[in-house]
Structure 1
Amino acid sequence: MGRYLVRRLLQLVPVFIGTTFLIYWLVWSVPGDPFAGKCGERRCPEQYVTYMTEKFHLDQPLLVQYANYMRNLLTGDFGETFSGRSVNDIIATAYPNTLKLALVALAIEAVIGLVAGVLTGLRRNGFLDNLVLVSTMFLIALPIFVIGFVLQWVLGFQLKLISTTVSSEVKFSELIVPGFVLGSASMAYVARLARTSIAENRRADYVRTAIAKGLPMRRVVGVHLLRNSLIPVVTLLGTDLGALMGGAIVTEGIFNVNGIGRQVYRAITTKESATVVSIVVVLVVIYLVMNLLVDLLYAALDPRIRYE
C-alpha cells in the first residue's frame, strides 16, 4: 500500500502541472483588454497600463508568466487582483462557505441516494421502486435553478419554514435546503446507480452462498452485498465533491451564499484572470485528492483489491 501511495502521489505531479498550465493558458488567452473599465468610463492612462503590465508580467511570454505564477503558488501566494486585493483573502473568505455547502450536498445525496438505492434494489418493480424511478427522473430533468426557486418560494415565502437567503455566518443548518438543491441531480444518479448495483450483485454466487449458510439478511446485505455494491457509488461520490463546488454558482446566487461561484462570476466579468486561475487551481487539487482517496477506499470495500 505504501509503495502504491507513493507512486500515485508522483503521478499527481505531472497531472497537476498539465492541468494548471492548461487552465492558465486558456484564461489568459481570452481576448479583450484586461484593463478595460478599471479607470471608470475613461480610458486608463498609458503610465497605469505600463505599470500594471510590468507588475503582472503581461509583457513576458506565457511560459515565463506561468513559471512566475507557479513559483509564487508553491510559497502559498496566489497573487493579487488588479485592484490590489490579495487572492489569498478572496479564497480564504469564499472557499470555506462553498466547501460547507458542497459537504452538506454530498452528505444529503449519499444518505438519501444510498437508502433509496438499497431499498429499491432489494425490492424491484414495487411501488417504492417506481416512485424512486419517477422521482429521480424528475430531479434529473429539472434544472437546478428551477428546483432552487421552487423550494425557496414554497418553504421560504409561503410556509415560512426557512430563511430565503443564507446569513453571513453560513451555518450548516441554513445550508440544508441549498445543499439539497445543489446535490439533487447527483442524488438521483446515486440512487439509480446503487439500485442497479444492488440488484445485479444480489444474484451473485457469494450472496446466494451467504443466504444458504443461514446468515441473517441484515448481515448479508450490510456486510456482503452492500460493500461490493458501493464501489461504483463511491467513485461517483468521491469525484462529485469538486463538481459540486465548481457548479455551486447557481445555488449560491439563489440563496445569496458568498462562495467561490460568486467570486468566479465577478472575476470573469471584471477580467480578473488571476482570481479565476487561482480558484480553479484549488478545485483541481480537490479533484486530485478525492480521486486518490477513492482509489484507496477500493481496497477497504472489496477484499479482492490489493495494491502491491
Structure 2
Amino acid sequence: MGRYVLRRLLQLIPVFIGTTFLIYWLVWSLPGDEFSGKCGDRPCPDSYINLMKEKFNLDDPLIVQYGKYMLNLLQGDFGETFRGIEVGDLIAEAYPNTIRLALVALAIEALIGLTAGILTGLRGRGFLDNLTLVSTLFLISLPVFVTGFVLQIVLGFELGWIKTTVSASPAPWEQLIVPGFVLGSLSMAYVTRLTRTSIAENKRADYVRTAVAKGLPQRRVVGVHLLRNSAIPVVTFLGTDLGNLMGGAIVTEGIFNIKGIGNLVYRGILGKEGLVVTGVVTLLVMVYLLSNLLVDMLYAVLDPRIRYD
C-alpha cells in the first residue's frame, strides 16, 4: 500500500502542473483590459499601468509568468490583487465557510441518499421505491437556484424557521443546514439512485446467494457482503463530489449570502483579478486530486479482493 500511495503521489505531480497551467492560461488569456475600472471612471495613467505590468510580470511570456507564479505558490505565496490585498488572506477568510458548507452538503447527501437507496434497493418495487424515484427525478429536474429560493422564501420569510442569510464568518454550523441541503440536493438524488441500483444488482449476485445458502444471518449478509460491495461506486461518487460541491457553491453562497470561495471567485471574475481566480481554482484542483487518492485507498478497505502491490 505504501508503494502504491507513493506512486500515486508522484503521478499527481504532472497532473497538477498540467491542470494549473491550463487554468493559468485560460484566466490570463481572457480578452479585455485588466486595468479597466481600476482608476474609477477615468482611464488609468500609463505610469500606473507600466508599474502594475512590471509588478505582476504581465510583459513576460505566459510560460515565464506561470513559472514565477508556481515558484511563489510553492512558498505559500498566492500573490496579491491589483489593490494590494494578499490573495492568501482572502482565501483564508473565505475557504473555511465553503469547506463547512461542502461538508454539511456531503453529510446530508450521504445520510439521506444512502438511507433511501438502501431501503429501496432491499425492498424492491413498491410504493416507497416509486416515491423515491419520483422524488429524486424531481430534484434532478429542478435547478439548484430554484430549490434555494423556494426554501429561503418558505422556511425563512413565510415560516421564520431559518435565517434567510448567513452573514457571519465563520458561518455557524446550524445556519448551514438548509444551504447545505440546497447545495447537495442534486448529488443526493444521484446517490440515492446509484445506491438503489447497486444494491438491487448485487442482491442477485452469486456471493450473496452463497452467503444465504450457508445460513448466515440476514444482518450479516446485508451488512458485510452486500453493502460493502455495493458501496464502491457510491464512495467513488461521494469522494469526487466533494470538489464539485466546493466549486459549485457560487449559486448557493449567493442566495444565502455566504462569504465563501464561490463568492470570492465571482467577485474576482467581475474585477478581473486573475490571481484570485487562479489561486482558488488551484486549491480546488488539489482537493480533487487528494480526494481521488483517498477514494482509491478506500477501495481496499471496502473490498478485500482489491490489493495494491
- For the aligned pair, the TM-score class normalised by the smaller chain equals over 0.9
Q: Which residue of 2 aligns with 1:235?
A: 236
Offset at 1:158? 1.1
1:25-44 alignment to 2 at 5 Å? 25-44=25-44
Q: In structure 2, what is the Cα distance between the partners aligned to 1:152 and 1:118?
A: 30
- The CA deviation string for residues 245-268 of structure 1, in whole angstroms up to 9 with x for no partner, is 000000001111000111101000
Offset at 1:167? 3.4
Unmatched runs of 5 consecutive residues or more in structure 1: none
Structure 1 residue 88 and structure 2 residue 88: aligned?
A: yes
Structure 1 residue 179 and structure 2 residue 193: aligned?
A: no
Structure 1 residue 194 and structure 2 residue 195: aligned?
A: yes
Offset at 1:155? 0.8
Offset at 1:210? 1.3
Question: SS of the residue aligned with 2:78?
Answer: coil
1:3-82 alignment to 2 at 5 Å? 3-82=3-82
Q: Which residue of 2 aligns with 1:161?
A: 161
CA RMSD after TM alignment: 0.6
Unmatched runs of 5 consecutive residues or more in structure 2: none
Q: In structure 2, what is the Cα distance between the partners aligned to 1:289 and 1:50?
A: 40
Moved more, 80-89 or 215-224: 215-224
- The CA deviation string for residues 116-155 of structure 1, in whole angstroms up to 9 with x for no partner, is 0000001111110000000000000000000001111111
Q: In structure 1, what is the Cα distance between the partners aligned to 2:125 and 2:205?
A: 19
Structure 1 residue 99 and structure 2 residue 115: aligned?
A: no
Q: What is the number of residues matched between the two proteins?
A: 308
Q: In structure 1, what is the Cα distance between the partners aligned to 2:167 and 2:176?
A: 10
Q: In structure 1, what is the Cα distance between the partners aligned to 2:47 and 2:299?
A: 58
Question: SS of the residue aligned with 1:209?
Answer: helix
Q: In structure 1, what is the Cα distance between the partners aligned to 2:39 and 2:247?
A: 31
1:80-159 alignment to 2 at 5 Å? 80-159=80-159
- The CA deviation string for residues 266-308 of structure 1, in whole angstroms up to 9 with x for no partner, is 0001100010000000000000000000000000000110001
> TM-score, length-normalised on structure 1?
0.99
Question: SS of the residue aligned with 2:128?
Answer: helix
> TM-score, length-normalised on structure 2?
0.99
Question: Structure 2: which amino acid aligns with 1:139?
Answer: L
- The CA deviation string for residues 172-200 of structure 1, in whole angstroms up to 9 with x for no partner, is 11100000000000000000000000000
* Percent identity (aligned): 73
The runs of 4+ residues in structure 1 deviating greater than 6 Å are none
Question: SS of the residue aligned with 1:164?
Answer: coil
